[in-house]
Chains A and B, each alone.
Chain A
Amino acid sequence: RKEVEQDPGPFNVPEGATVAFNCTYSNSASQSFFWYRQDCRKEPKLLMSVYSSGNEDGRFTAQLNRASQYISLLIRDSKLSDSATYLCVVENNNDMRFGAGTRLTVKP
């Protein structure tokens, strides 16, 4: 089983849609959780950390369920500029492990 698993995608949605990504992780001792965004041929950039209480940043909401070892990212009112690959990242043993990423394309 992979350490971090994500919906494979791709997700193709119209502008204004709400889209949700899911991620599961295998190590119950994992300590920190993140969503990164990666544009084509660019480096990953931190989108948001994920906290146990859930957290929101504008149109983006992240949730963590430690019991189920599950992380989610919700994007509301999708914009064309949200098109990217979204990487679920989990800290295991003080090092970061990446999910395979979910490709999102937002269309006009």
Chain B
Amino acid sequence: DTEVTQTPKHLVMGMTNKKSLKCEQHMGHRAMYWYKQKAKKPPELMFVYSYEKLSINESVPSRFSPECPNSSLLNLHLHALQPEDSALYLCASSRDRGRRGGYTFGSGTRLTVV
């Protein structure tokens, strides 16, 4: 299994809703990442988990809350989002942080906040 699986693929939510994005990998990778990508822009790093511990939080607003229940799963909990948070949210994993082999990305969740 060489995939990173993200669910849902599409999500529309209101500004008062609470929702969660899920990411799963079974490659034995010990580092997992959340990126946010706006249209025609590169992915921007949000969070890094290394060995199930949060190692980087790139000054992301608290309305985004990451969770790593185990080494295969990564969640992103969303609450009270703003329309400008609409974007493609990408999960990635690597064997360790910054491994030479690069990252494997999931296909993303396209989020629209209305």
Residues of B within 8 A of A (CB): 33, 41-45, 48, 56, 88, 90, 97-108, 110
Contact = CB atoms under 8 A, between A and B. Distances in A.
Interface of A: 31-32, 34, 36, 41-46, 49, 87, 89, 91, 93-101
A44 B98 contact: no
Nearest to A93: B98
Contacts of A41: 88, 110
Nearest to B6: A43
A95 B102 contact: no
B6 to A, nearest CB: 9
Q: Is the interface of A mostly helix, strand, loop or mixed?
A: strand
Give the one of B44, B100, B107 with max A CB within 10 A: B100
Contact of B98 (A32, A36, A101): A32
B105 A45 contact: yes
A46 B107 contact: no
Nearest to B103: A96
Contacts of A49: 100-102
A42 B107 contact: yes
A45 B43 CA distance: 12
Given A49-B100, A99-B42, A43 B48 contact: no
A28 to B, nearest CB: 16
Contacts of A94: 97-98
B9 to A, nearest CB: 11
B11 to A, nearest CB: 15
Nearest to A91: B98
